[in-house]
Amino acid sequence: MFSYKRRVRYYETDRMGVVHHSNYLKLIEEARLQWCNEYIMDYKTLESKGCIIPAVSASENFLDYLRFDDPFSIEVKLKEFRGIKMTFSYKIYNEDTGVLCYTGESSHFFAKQSGKEEYLPYLSFRKDFPKIYKKLVDMTK
């Protein structure tokens, strides 16, 4: 299980002093990119090789609040990998209290970038990135 840690920034909160609900998607994206950097390869390098990973869906459950300057951790888990599509699960904890504040999932697919504005919908990780493909398959066993 991968864990990403940091503190809540002031601009991520609303007038009530809690993290605005829209920022949770940004937080899980931040954590997922760090997961990608650690387990697949640096995301910028991946994009330079013609691979992008667009989101297909996301679901969220807000269980408790995070407030400005709260330390938190995001657990990122690769829940499913099907060669073209993968699904992640997330849990966000307040590091001071240990309280689970958020659970969620997001699904993504691998696309081949063929130009600045043109995307081909599918990329075969098995064929184009065989070592990474095997690693992802092994992670979901």
- pTM, rounded to two decimals: 0.91
State the pLDDT at residue 116: 61
State the pLDDT at residue 103: 98
State the pLDDT at residue 124: 80
User: Residues with catalytic annotation?
Assistant: 14
In terms of residue numbers, what domain contains 130?
2-139
What CATH number corresponds to the domain at position 87? 3.10.129.10
Instruction: Please give the C-alpha separations between residue 47 and each of 52, 79, 127, 130, 137, in angstroms, as whole numbers.
Output: 6, 23, 17, 16, 21
All residues at 6 or more sequence positions from 141 whose CB lies less than 8 Å from its CB, including other chains: none
Q: Total domain count for the chain?
A: 1
State the pLDDT at residue 118: 62
Query: Which among 125, 123, 122, 121 is positioned nearest to 133, based on CA atoms?
Result: 125
What averages of pLDDT result for each successive group of 10 residues across the chain (141 residues)?
96 95 97 94 89 93 97 98 93 98 96 68 81 91 82
All residues at 6 or more sequence positions from 55 whose CB lies less than 8 Å from its CB, including other chains: 106, 107, 108
State the pLDDT at residue 89: 98
State the pLDDT at residue 87: 97
State the pLDDT at residue 49: 86
* Three-state SS annotation for 50-109: CEECCEEEEEEEECCCCECCCEEEEEEEEEEECCCEEEEEEEEEECCCCCEEEEEEEEEE
3-state secondary structure of 2: strand
Cα 128 to Cα 120: distance, rounded to the nearest angstrom: 14
